[in-house]
Amino acid sequence: MGILTIRRLAARLLVLFPLLLSTGCSTAAYLVQAGIGQLSLYNHERPLQEVIDDPHTTEKVRERLKWVPEIKKMVETELGVPPTSNYTTYVQVDRPYLTWALTAAEPFELKTVMWSFPFFGAFPYLGFFKEKTAQDWAHDYQLKGYDTYVRGASAYSTLGWLRDPMVSTMLYRDKGAMVDLIFHESTHGQIYLKGQVDFNEQIASYVGDTAEKLWIERAFGKKSKERQDWDNDRTDRRLFGTMLKKFAEELKAYYASSSNASADDRRSGKESRFAAFQKQLETAPWAGRGWGRMARLVTNNAALLAFLTYEDEQALFDELDEKCGGHLKDALRYLKSFEREWDRLSSVERGKTKPQVLLKERLRSNARGGVCLYLDTQ
């Protein structure tokens, strides 16, 4: 780990320290474990090229690490962004995931617990470097009556604050999926609406998906089997998102109509509805890889809301893609302009709407189609 990076991280932890004291013991403890986990990554990183040249590196790892500079160049070209030091180092970790994310939700309301942090705003999940720590926190929230969901994550972004290394948990993917992943995480460093995690994740998912499609078309052709597989997976993902949203509306109606029932009766009704939804997922007309496997994961409110963070409103970004002629560089430029407009709103104005709603209005106000220039004048 470079001295500059150590100093940057240490300086930022020192700046945060007085704020940690005012955020409560649990939040302070959480941020301390996050800082220790980040330092541990940097203490074990090696230059990417050094790992590639190392005769002890396995061929599988070497092959995938050789993809990284090419994908980084694609990020710079397709998104129109300058080079960064991200993904120029490599860290081997002896675990299946880099972090584990905890989501907690009300038991009879589709409302997540929000955790607030200095500078970054509120988040509907917490990330942990140890699975046991995540499960311990989940257990604590379960004792308080909340639904919980813990999932593994192979990568995350430090939003431009620090250099992001390549990690061994990112290497199980094929090349197209790695394109998706690196574009997804790189997008977080380019655009970030404070406190709007779902919107940020939906943007990154759109950029990553579209970049994977572009790579597939260049590598195999627009009419290739690989492109058809991508189309099938996208169709399935859209179906999954549609089913999630429909089920969420049904649950909201049930929770509202059963507010006077006993907790046991409400819990029984909730469980039967989730079981029925899991059966729907298992038997849905999937076109490709079988998103029916996700059925076993959607077991409670927390899991449902965690999936909706990524899958909700993807049709909105299909519309953005069409407006921008399929050009990611133009789409990112548009979104950055939208971000500036959002930041100019007062806290009261932001509290009355969601960025997805405002973006939809802006897209549809541009009747000309093509690249939207409207926001650049705001």
Question: pLDDT digit string (tens) for 277-300?
Answer: 999 998 898 876 668 788 889 999
Q: What is the DSSP string of 252-320?
A: HHHHHHTTTS-HHHHHHHHHHHHHHHHHHHHHS---SS-GGGGGGG--SHHHHHHHHHHHTTHHHHHHH
Q: What are phi and psi of 136, to 5 degrees?
A: -65, -45
Asked if residues 166 and 71 have their Cβ atoms less than 8 Å apart, the reply is no
pLDDT tens string 10-27: 444 444 444 343 344 567
Q: Do 268 and 158 form a contact (C-beta atoms < 8 A)?
A: no
Structural domain contains residue 172 = yes
Query: Under a CB-based contact definition with an 8 Å cutoff, are residues 47 and 89 in contact?
Result: yes
Rounded-to-integer distance, Cα 308 and Cα 294, Å: 13
Q: Containing H/E element for 166?
A: strand 166-167
Q: What is the pLDDT at residue 375? A: 44
* Residue 255 falls inside a structural domain: no
Determine, yes or no, domain membership for 80: yes
Give the model's confidence band at 224: pLDDT under 50 very low, under 70 low, under 90 confident, else very high: very high
> Helix, strand, coil proportions of the chain in percent (round to 5)?
65, 10, 30
Domain that holds residue 92: 3-188
Residue 20: what pLDDT?
40
Whether 96 maps to a domain, the answer reads yes
Q: What is the pLDDT of residue 366?
A: 65
In this structure, are strands 89-91 and 46-47 parallel, antiparallel, or unpaired?
A: antiparallel
pLDDT single digits (tens) 143-163: 999 999 999 999 988 888 888
- The residue among 18 and 53 whose pLDDT is bigger is 53
- Mean pLDDT is lowest, of 122-136, 241-255, 305-319, 363-377, for 363-377
| Listed residues 167, 188, 209: the one ending a domain | 188
Q: How far is residue 199's CA from residue 214's CA, in Å, rounded to a whole number?
A: 23
Lowest mean pLDDT segment, chosen from 8-22, 98-112, 181-195, 328-342:
8-22
Domain for residue 73, yes or no?
yes
Please give the Cα distance from 179 to 216 (Å, whole number).
10
Confidence of residue 311 (pLDDT cuts 50, 70, 90): confident
Whether 154 is covered by a domain: the verdict is yes
Give yes or no for residue 345 having a pLDDT over 50: yes
Cα-to-chain-centroid distance, residue 112: 16
* CA-to-CA dists, residue 175 to 91, 311, 359, angstroms: 19, 23, 32
Q: Of all residues in the chain, what percent carry a pLDDT higher than 90? A: 69
Read off the pLDDT of each residue in 79-99 and give the average, rounded to a whole number.
95
Residue 275 lies in a domain: no
Query: Which residues have C-beta within 8 Å of that of residue 14, sequence separation ≥ 6?
Result: none
Question: Comparing 133-142, 209-218, 278-287, which segment has the lowest mean pLDDT?
Answer: 278-287
Residue range 237-273, pLDDT digits in tens: 889 999 999 999 999 999 999 999 999 999 999 999 9
Give a yes or no: residue 283 inside a domain. Answer: no
Residue 218 corresponds to which amino acid? R
In this model, does residue 79 exceed pLDDT 60? yes
Pairing state between β 115-117 and 46-47: unpaired
Pick the last residue of a domain from 188, 221, 239: 188
Name the domain count of the chain.
2
pLDDT tens string 30-45 = 888 888 898 899 999 9
Residue 169's pLDDT band (cuts 50, 70, 90): very high
Q: Which of 161, 188, 215 is the last residue of a domain?
A: 188
